[in-house]
Chain A
């Protein structure tokens, strides 16, 4: 639904996005993560045909960027970081303006549909200036959907919202996936990305990593099981070290951290060996890393690689 190849944007000699190649599948929620100034907003703006790429190509919703920009704008819905609503106009009037600009056939029906869906119908005729930040964000979502776009570009949709409203917006976004819409989600909120995204792209001007959170986890941290025993003895440690499939063993207090290649296949052998060595197993789980840890590790690795590159250039 979204495909880019070598997409690059340079502003006045400064590279904002470089060689971005990615594919977002229909019905997928695709997370775009990165530090401030990483090029996330520029990427969204290019995909919305708001700014022209300096190099590279992209196809959005079947339309080629740079050649069919008007068609791209018609098939894309965008939620910008700031809701950007007309404060003196009512919620209904705001949506009507956009529905008409998008050429919606039955404006009144579409406006009502989304105002009801986002629980804003009762306040439809009040000026948006009187709305809370959460209500404005919901209205911005309704505005992005009023023309039933196939592709949604969401730039920090829960930024600045309280936890309750954040949850409402997140659940709404999750529901949109069920409707088959393709969503590109830019966020700083890693918890949000972890909950919502099927795949993530970490961007720091250049793409650093692109995969599912699970695959990135495996690539960066490998797979480890954590075994909690009633007591750790030297005999138990020796027995585990002797197992040929154990890649690494560390222990801390009553916890053993055992790196395995294929825990599903190797765990039963590990448990048997532990029991044979006289271990009393209390818990056995696979070690998990949050997306935050994955993200920070990726950014750290990129910074190290960048420094090494700069040093070798000198």
Chain B
């Protein structure tokens, strides 16, 4: 078995038994999965004029301008489309939080338990070790967001008017989940590796997550206030930028991930 696979298997066995860590990944996914459905049901029920809110009207108008065919739809259907599209953006927090939690726990946890020295004394190369740990963090985080999106799509299909799904699982939504999702997971784990080299406990290391969460939140709020609408060009441009950032961050992480540096400087 290749050393990368040995590390991957070890990390996942450990992860499966770390219930708190699993929970910290699954809970945000569940919240972002359920919340939009709750909103689409509750807003019209509790406050029939709520979806006539100025901001909502502005976004609906913006949506209508960007996609004139939406003007022909029932405003409640457009509200559904608006909410579900907004939460596709929020689903990007799932790979960020997941990859960051696993990466920081995996590295800081090894530091705390002093398991790195015997591990580094084996013939494994530091590239193999970093690759094993990175895959162990990025794959479950990415799979989790894909699974969540799958359930999201299923929920929309079952609970929303039929016009909603094709307008949520559209090229923008799909590229956000299947292209931006893995890229932010890699960026998150890369930052996790860098911060973990200095942090003494996983929670401190995870504070770096704010750096990644803030841009997503900013996009969420800007789109909610109707300042702009994400389109495929935006998503692709951001994917290119993310890819460049991923390369830079992984290179820095790989430089920190040297036997001697790990043993002598990762205090």
Are these two chains actual partners, yes or no? Answer: yes
Q: Report whether B1 and A100 are in contact in the complex, using a CB–CB cutoff of 8 Å.
A: yes
Contact partner of B123 (CB less than 8 A), chosen from A50, A84, A93, A103, is A103
Given contacts A84-B113, A84-B116, A87-B113, contact A50 B18 (CB under 8 A): no
A82 CA to B116 CA, complexed, in Å? 11
Q: Report whether B14 and A74 are in contact in the complex, using a CB–CB cutoff of 8 Å.
A: no
A86 CA to B116 CA, complexed, in Å? 10
Determine which residue in A50, A82, A103, A143 has the highest number of CB atoms from chain B within 10 A of its CB, and name it.
Answer: A50
| Distance to closest chain B CB from A58 (angstroms) | 15
| Distance to closest chain A CB from B258 (angstroms) | 10
Given contacts A80-B114, A85-B115, contact A50 B122 (CB under 8 A): no
Q: Among B24-32, B48-56, B259-267, which stretch is in contact with chain A?
A: B259-267
- B5 (CB) vs chain A CBs: closest residue: A100
Given contacts A52-B260, A101-B123, A102-B122, contact A80 B3 (CB under 8 A): no
Q: Report whether B6 and A143 are in contact in the complex, using a CB–CB cutoff of 8 Å.
A: no
Q: Which residues of A contact B263 (CB under 8 A)?
A: 45, 50-51
A97 CA to B118 CA, complexed, in Å? 11
Report if B23 contacts A (CB, 8 A).
no
Q: Interface residues of B, CB < 8 Å — how many?
A: 26
Q: Report whether A50 and B120 are in contact in the complex, using a CB–CB cutoff of 8 Å.
A: yes
Contact partner of A86 (CB less than 8 A), chosen from B10, B121, B122, is B10
| Distance to closest chain A CB from B111 (angstroms) | 11
Report if A206 contacts B (CB, 8 A).
no
Q: Report whether B6 and A50 are in contact in the complex, using a CB–CB cutoff of 8 Å.
A: no
Q: Report whether A89 and B118 are in contact in the complex, using a CB–CB cutoff of 8 Å.
A: no
Report if B244 contacts A (CB, 8 A).
no
A140 CA to B114 CA, complexed, in Å? 12
Contact partner of B6 (CB less than 8 A), chosen from A48, A76, A100, is A100
Q: Which residues of A contact B18 (CB under 8 A)?
A: 88
Q: List 17 A-B contacts (CB under 8 A).
A: A50-B120, A50-B263, A51-B259, A52-B260, A70-B123, A78-B121, A84-B119, A86-B10, A87-B113, A88-B14, A89-B13, A97-B10, A98-B118, A100-B1, A100-B6, A101-B122, A143-B118
Given contact pairs A11-B264, A86-B115, A103-B123, a sample of 9 additional A-B residue pairs in the complex whose CB atoms are under 8 Å apart: A76-B121, A80-B117, A84-B116, A84-B119, A85-B113, A88-B18, A89-B14, A101-B124, A143-B118
